[in-house]
Amino acid sequence: MPPPPLLARAVHKRYADTTALDGLDLEIASGTIHALLGPNGAGKSTAVNVFSTLTRHDRGEVLVAGHDVRRQAARVRAEIGLVGQATALDPMLHGRENLVMFGRLHGLANSAARDRAAELLEGFGLADAADRKVSTYSGGMQRRLDIAAALIRRPGLLFLDEPTTGLDPRGRLDVWAAIRRVVEQGTTVLLTTQYLDEADQLADRITVLGAGRVIAEGTAGELKDGLGGDRVIVTVPDATAFARMVDLLDGEPDPDRRQVTVAAGPAGGTHTLMTVVRSLDAAGIRVDDLVLRRPTLDEVFLHLTAPTTGVSR
Ligand SMILES: Nc1ncnc2c1ncn2[C@@H]1O[C@H](COP(=O)(O)OP(=O)(O)OP(=O)(O)O)[C@@H](O)[C@H]1O
Ligand SMILES: [Mg+2]
C-alpha cells in the first residue's frame, strides 16, 4: 500500500515562550478532504507550515507521501500545493497572467504554462474574468484563483489555510465547490477552518485542534455522537401529566419545564422517538411539545474547546 499523503507523529513546535504544537498526531487518507478545526491560536497555521516545509518543527516526525519534511524537503515540495492565509497573487496582474507566472516559476515552458492556466481558469469558473486585473475580482474569485495557482503542478496533496475566512456566503459556496472539484480530480486536501459548518459540509474527517494538540477526531457524525448522540425531549402541559410521564419514560426529568429528556437507544433517535410517542399515546398523556435533538457540531466544538472541560478523545 502506498504511504498516506500525510502522516504526523508527536509533532512539537515552540516559538520563544509559546508552545504552538504540543504533540500533534495526524494521518490523512488519500483522496479525502480532512479538516483541521480549531479556534484562533490553536496551531492550525503552524501545523500547515510544518507540513509544507515552511517551518521546521522541534520534535516528532512528519512524512508527506512517505517523504520526511526535514530531510527530503524538495521531494515534499514537489508533492504539495499550499494556499496560505494571505494571498500569493499579484493584484495588478490579470488572472491569467498570475497563473502563467506561477507556471513559469514552477519550471513550465511558456506554452505549457499558458495551457495549464487556461485549463485551470476554465475549471474554476474564471475564464470570463481571466483577462481582468485580480484587484477587480471578488474575494471568492481571488480565493479560487489562489487555489488554481497552487494546483499548477498537479500536487497530490493540497493545503488550504482558512480558505473561506472573510468571504461572503456566495463566495464561500463558490470556494467550497472549487475544493470539491479539486478532490474529484484526485488531489487530497487538508484544510484548516474555524467554521464548524465548513468542516461539516466539506470534510470526510475532522481533527479538532486545541492548544497544539488533537482533542477529538472523527467524522462529523462521530463527533456529534461523542457528545451523547440524539435526545428526545417531551414537554407536557401540567404537573399531573408530568408525574405520569416520569413513571412511564426512562429519561431525565425536569419538573420546572415539565420535560423529560430521553437519550436515544442503539437503534437511533428516530426509533426512540417512535417508541416514546407510542407509549405516551397508549397511556393517553397529552403532549405540548416533542422534539428530536441532535447535538450540533457547534455544541461539540464548544464542549471540546471549553477550558474547564476534561480532554476527551
Ligand atoms: N512566528 C511566530 N512567532 C511566535 N509565535 C508564533 C508564531 N507563529 C505562531 N505563533 C504562536 O503560536 C500559536 C499558534 O499559532 P497559529 O498561527 O498556528 O494558530 P492558528 O490556529 O493558525 O490561529 P488563527 O486561527 O488565528 O490563524 C499562537 O499562540 C501564536 O501566537
Ligand atoms: Mg492560522
Per-residue pLDDT tens digits for 241-256: 999 999 999 999 999 9
Distance CA 80, CA 160 (A): 11
Q: Which grid cell sits at 108?
A: 513550465
Tell me what pLDDT residue 230 has: 84
More confident: 313 or 65: 65
Q: Is the pLDDT of residue 70 over 90?
A: yes
- Residue ending a domain, among 189, 204, 225, is 225
Q: Which atom of ligand 1 is nearest to the CA of 45?
A: 22
> 269 and 161, same structural domain?
no
Q: Is the pLDDT of residue 229 over 70?
A: yes
Distance CA 115, CA 142 (A): 20
User: Taking residues 207-216, what's their average pLDDT?
Assistant: 93
Query: For 49, left (φ over 0), alpha (ψ -120 to 50), or beta?
Result: alpha
Ligand 1 centroid–CA 114 distance in Å is 37
Distance CA 262, CA 284 (A): 19
Residue ID of nearest Cα to ligand 1 atom 28: 41
Tell me what pLDDT residue 309 has: 39
CATH code for the domain of 263 = 3.30.70
Q: Does residue 100 belong to any structural domain of this protein?
A: yes
Tell me what pLDDT residue 86 has: 87
In total, the chain counts a number of residues equal to 313
Task: Quote the pTM value.
Answer: 0.82
Q: Is the pLDDT of residue 210 over 70?
A: yes
User: Taking residues 275-293, what's their average pLDDT?
Assistant: 95
Tell me what pLDDT residue 122 has: 94
Q: Which ligand is nearest to the CA of 38?
A: 1
Q: Which ligand is nearest to the CA of 42?
A: 1
> 164 and 31, same structural domain?
yes
Ligand 1 pocket by Cβ (under 6 Å): 15-16, 18, 20, 38, 40-46, 194
Q: Does residue 63 belong to any structural domain of this protein?
A: yes
Q: Which atom of ligand 1 is nearest to the CA of 16?
A: 4
> 38 and 149, same structural domain?
yes
Tell me what pLDDT residue 307 has: 59
In the predicted model, what is the mean pLDDT of the chain?
92
Q: Is the pLDDT of residue 76 over 60?
A: yes
Domains of the chain: total: 2
Ligand 1 centroid–CA 241 distance in Å is 55
> 160 and 78, same structural domain?
yes
User: Taking residues 174-199, what's their average pLDDT?
Assistant: 94
User: Taking residues 25-48, what's their average pLDDT?
Assistant: 96
User: Taking residues 278-307, what's their average pLDDT?
Assistant: 84
Q: Is the pLDDT of residue 170 over 50?
A: yes
Candidate from 12, 13, 18 with most ligand 1 atoms within 8 A of CB, to mutate: 18
